[in-house]
Amino acid sequence: LQHNIARPHTSLATTAHIAKFGWTVLPHPPYSPGLAPSDFHLFGPKKDGLSGQHFPDSDAVIAGVRKWLGSGGADFYGHGIQALVNRWQKCIMNGGDYVEK
């Protein structure tokens, strides 16, 4: 299990629940955009996919982003998770240093 930077994952209730499943929790630097799937896999393509569109209000933005997220398909998200595995391996090989690509 890999957490990003959210602090709730250190609570006693959360750590006990994770332990119940027998999951290994990978340590994570305080902020590492190279290891956050949202930063390296979603934000760039989302920006490109929504480029040039104009939204009249926040509800339209939410609808547009939801539509874009739904259009990716399983292969898009599967590729992002596999890329995370590769980035973790590079991070480990670099002794925890920042991983770009």
Q: Which residue has the higher pLDDT, 92 or 58?
A: 58
**What was the pLDDT predicted at 71?**
92
| Distance (Å, whole) CA 58 – CA 10 | 33
Work out the angle between the directed axes of helices 43-50 and 58-71 (0-180°, nearest 10): 110
13-65: pLDDT as tens digits: 888 888 899 888 776 666 666 677 777 788 888 989 999 999 999 999 999 99
**Both tokens assigned to 82:** 């596999």
In order, the DSSP letters of 62-73 are HHHHHHHHHHSH
